[in-house]
A and B are shown apart, each in its own frame.
Chain A
């Protein structure tokens, strides 16, 4: 699986709803997701992470700016950059296998046997082969997430955008899923933009963490995570991990302070 490079240049987006003050979500926001790397985008909820993801995937049009995939401008959604959503997108009326095969089946009339073999392969890798004829309602939360990743990866996207994919899972399942995705990533290096609001998840997975600055509506600082791969959870006990975590926390607090104690605002209380 060869990864592509995804860039956003000077994106701005303001939501205007009738009878309400316009909400500026993104302002001159740029970012780069390097080929074959796992880039994590972090930020508090409401900081425009999902809007940014929707613009990158082509679901929402920016007011200004553009998105480039391997140097070429892209606007419409396409199988070259696929998204795993916060909430499940498995269609409940299709079996797991049919969900995974949806992409290949709507794009190519022929080559069905080939797609089937590929789906079988993926499902095997994701430990879902025994469940391929089940409906999504019969799967656990973690299995659903795995099936969704397979549903995207079978199309060999150049970039995979994951919008807080493990949110809402219980702690143990969540950790298992993080290990799972790390394994998938370390095997084939699909270019990944992983969005999260969890700092430990971010460091554990990332090659680089980009921090959303909610005050400015753009990507602020970046931290390189130079922890060795392949990674296991033991890495969280290392000194380097703790250093990076401290840096990351500082960055988050710096953003928060710029939000709450900006010169225009009067600090309340102590």
Chain B
């Protein structure tokens, strides 16, 4: 019941207005025209009708196609999950302790600008399986974003929050539990929103390089095997998968901070 309502909600968000539906129809039309035109001068961009035909003829009931979905989602889940698991505590430690900041930050700031994909060779050399390397690269993609956001969030907690809590007699541990942790949730949410997008970016590239399964791999194989319909099926699948993940993250965020729904200051951030 609730799940159904949520699905409807997600669809409603996608087509918030009839103009949105018109825009999608127009997009498909333009694509159809461009695809047809391209074939007249030897281009190989398949039209929407060709892609749809291919999809229903050889993908929709092919378990291998759905295994690609499962493989990609599983990697995102692990990579993104580990990024939160390690990133949130590290961000909090950096934000609360000058000593930790002084020790960790120099290393952190040198590693942070390295694009996640530059980690691919090291990752393949280090980890025993390709699966682990892909998850690691996905992890790297989300990790730095979450750490920086949480760190920044801690540093921006108004000083008067701590002052008042101290005046009222709260111990440091109470302040940590009841002030610091909830205060940092909006920053965790921002980090998650940014992180999930980067995760898919990085995942697709990593799968093209090193994967055996996954939506990125599917797209790449379509290219290598000279079947452009498969490339497009892969791309659209990635688009939908990314959209679904973003909605799931939104849902988790809303559950983490029910109070923010009513607060214009925080509502604007999502």
Q: A78-B169, A82-B167 given as contacts; is B259 within 8 A of A137 (CB)?
A: yes
Q: CB within 8 A of B169: which of A85, A107, A138?
A: A107
Residue-by-residue, is A109-150 near B (CB-CB < 8 Å gives 1, otherwise 0)? 000000000000000000000000011111000000000000
Nearest chain B CB to A101's CB is how many angstroms away?
A: 10
Q: Which residue of A lies closest to B163 (CB)?
A: A59
Q: Are B169 and A92 neighbours in the complex by a CB distance under 8 Å? A: no
Nearest chain A CB to B43's CB is how many angstroms away?
A: 54
Q: Are B262 and A135 neighbours in the complex by a CB distance under 8 Å? A: yes
Nearest chain A CB to B29's CB is how many angstroms away?
A: 44
Q: CB within 8 A of A137: which of B167, B171, B183, B266?
A: B266
Q: Are A77 and B166 neighbours in the complex by a CB distance under 8 Å? A: yes
Nearest chain B CB to A75's CB is how many angstroms away?
A: 12
Q: A92-B266, A93-B259 given as contacts; is B183 within 8 A of A77 (CB)?
A: no
Q: What is the total number of residues of chain A having a CB less than 8 Å from a CB of chain B?
A: 26
| B265 contacts across to A, CB distance below 8 A | 92, 137
A65-90 with Cβ < 8 A to chain B: 77-79, 81-83, 85, 87, 89
Nearest chain A CB to B226's CB is how many angstroms away?
A: 55
Q: CB within 8 A of B163: which of A57, A107, A135, A136?
A: A57
Q: CB within 8 A of B165: which of A102, A135, A138?
A: A102
Q: Are A57 and B168 neighbours in the complex by a CB distance under 8 Å? A: no
Q: Are A79 and B168 neighbours in the complex by a CB distance under 8 Å? A: yes
Query: Does B174 make an interface contact (CB < 8 A)?
Result: yes
Q: Are B259 and A85 neighbours in the complex by a CB distance under 8 Å? A: no
Q: CB within 8 A of A87: which of B158, B183, B259, B260?
A: B158
Q: How far apart are the CA atoms of A59 and B159 in the complex, in Å?
A: 10
Query: Does A44 make an interface contact (CB < 8 A)?
Result: no
Q: How far apart are the CA atoms of A155 and B169 in the complex, in Å?
A: 10
| B19 contacts across to A, CB distance below 8 A | none
Q: Are A79 and B167 neighbours in the complex by a CB distance under 8 Å? A: yes
Q: How far apart are the CA atoms of A247 and B166 in the complex, in Å?
A: 40
Q: Are B163 and A106 neighbours in the complex by a CB distance under 8 Å? A: no
Q: CB within 8 A of B168: which of A59, A138, A155?
A: A155
Q: Are B262 and A137 neighbours in the complex by a CB distance under 8 Å? A: yes
Q: Which residue of B lies closest to A134 (CB)?
A: B262
Query: Does B170 make an interface contact (CB < 8 A)?
Result: yes
| B260 contacts across to A, CB distance below 8 A | 92, 137
Query: Does B125 make an interface contact (CB < 8 A)?
Result: no
Query: Does A103 make an interface contact (CB < 8 A)?
Result: yes
| A79 contacts across to B, CB distance below 8 A | 167-169
Q: How far apart are the CA atoms of A98 and B151 in the complex, in Å?
A: 27
Top 7 A-B residue pairs of the complex, sorted by shortest distance between their CB atoms:
A137-B263, A103-B168, A93-B182, A135-B259, A106-B170, A77-B167, A107-B169
Binding site for A on B (CB under 8 A): 158, 160-161, 163-171, 174, 178-179, 182-183, 185, 257-260, 262-266
Pairs A–B under 8 Å by Cβ, sample size 25: A57-B163, A57-B167, A79-B167, A79-B168, A79-B169, A81-B167, A83-B163, A83-B164, A87-B158, A89-B164, A93-B182, A93-B183, A93-B259, A94-B259, A102-B178, A106-B165, A106-B170, A106-B174, A107-B168, A135-B258, A135-B262, A135-B263, A137-B263, A137-B266, A155-B168
